Amino acid sequence: MKSSFFALLLVCAAAPVAVQGEQVGNGTIRLFSNKTGPGVASGATNAGIIQIYIDDQWGNICSNQTTFGQREADTVCYQLGYNGADSFGAYGAALFGIDTSAAVIKDVHCDSDQYQVLSQCHYSPADSNSCSDKTDIHVTCSTTDIWGDPYDGMVRLVEGSYSSEGLVEVYCNKEWGTVCDDGIDDDEADTVCVQLGYTKSFKWDKLPIRGNGSQPIWLDNLYCGHTDKTCIGYCQTCPSKESTDCSHGEDLTVQCTYNKASFEKGSLRTTCTGIEDSWWTFIHIVIIAAAGLVGFILCCLCVCLSFCCCCAAGAKKKKKVINTAYTQFD
């Protein structure tokens, strides 16, 4: 009796969590395909009708040929981890099948080609008057991924249900490794999301994804509180060796969201490149400047010494000349 009461209590407590279902970050993008169209491989994840998650629902993007162009399509593909768009167009249903969701945004326009997520661009809410299945935008992304030319301190999210979430991996010493969650707080999780173009992390350490044994754990005790929270490279630079303090059970996962009203803005594609290089440049400049200073001091000493020697020798000579003159008068 007692145990069944507790079981009931447990079911009641668990129920609201189960009903809430998936929690997806705003601005998350996925590609929908309800059939295999011409030139679309079965199960292809790089092609489909674009769906964006905004205000707690998935919806399509209503075309406006004057604004949605190559740059906007590229941005969608960058967000999904691909290196740009091969093609895009309206009336996705013809290629990818009927999609029962409605359009949620229209007039998408990116004023920079450096954005990483579509929410960084301008858009307005869709209306049912001008939007229908015929206006759903679809895209086919390049199959090469965006991590082909990585830099030290680059981050990516892997193995999540969407590209806005997953295991945090950072690139160091020519290899992708994980981040230990020791000392992680909102600041660090937010920095990962901002580096990827989102505005913040709404959850971290909540996904059951871990790095595997063959992967190094690069960062440990990450601290971003003193930085502007735009790039992980400002919080900690790549170590020369992997951390041995942590196990993969402590690997960090994050779920990112884009809040349009946020004061924070997601980083651009180039915001975090070359931070480690600039540290090296700085260190080199300091070394060269120090060497220059030492050289200058040594030079000064030499000049002083030789000047003193000359003076001493000159004075002696003068005295001798005067002495000689007196001797002649005598």
Binding site for ligand NAG (CB under 6 A): 25-26, 34, 55-56, 64, 66-67, 97-100, 107, 109, 202, 212, 214-215, 257, 259
Is the CA virtual torsion 291, 293, 296, 297 positive or negative? negative
DSSP β-bridge partners for residue 136? 62
What φ, ψ does residue 204 adopt, rounded to 5°? -140, 155
89 exposed, middle or buried (CB, 10 Å; 0-12, 13-18, 19+)? Answer: middle
* C-alpha–C-alpha distance, residues 171 and 156, integer Å: 9
**In the bound complex, what is the minimum distance in angstroms from residue 63's beta carbon to ligand NAG?**
9
* C-alpha–C-alpha distance, residues 25 and 79, integer Å: 13
The DSSP call for residue 119 is G
**In the bound complex, what is the minimum distance in angstroms from residue 245's beta carbon to ligand NAG?**
20
Task: Pick the closer one to ligand NAG by CB: 169 or 181.
Answer: 169
**In the bound complex, what is the minimum distance in angstroms from residue 166's beta carbon to ligand NAG?**
12
Enter the tokens of residue 317. Answer: 């000579």
Task: Pick the closer one to ligand NAG by CB: 217 or 275.
Answer: 217
**In the bound complex, what is the minimum distance in angstroms from residue 16's beta carbon to ligand NAG?**
16
Task: Pick the closer one to ligand NAG by CB: 164 or 234.
Answer: 164
What φ, ψ does residue 283 adopt, rounded to 5°? -65, -40
Task: Pick the closer one to ligand NAG by CB: 55 or 149.
Answer: 55
Do 136 and 88 contact (CB within 8 A), yes or no?
A: no
Task: Pick the closer one to ligand NAG by CB: 1 or 17.
Answer: 17
**In the bound complex, what is the minimum distance in angstroms from residue 117's beta carbon to ligand NAG?**
14
**Alpha-carbon distances of 212 from 4, 81, 177, 323, rounded to whole Å:** 40, 21, 10, 93
Task: Pick the closer one to ligand NAG by CB: 127 or 277.
Answer: 127
**In the bound complex, what is the minimum distance in angstroms from residue 74's beta carbon to ligand NAG?**
18
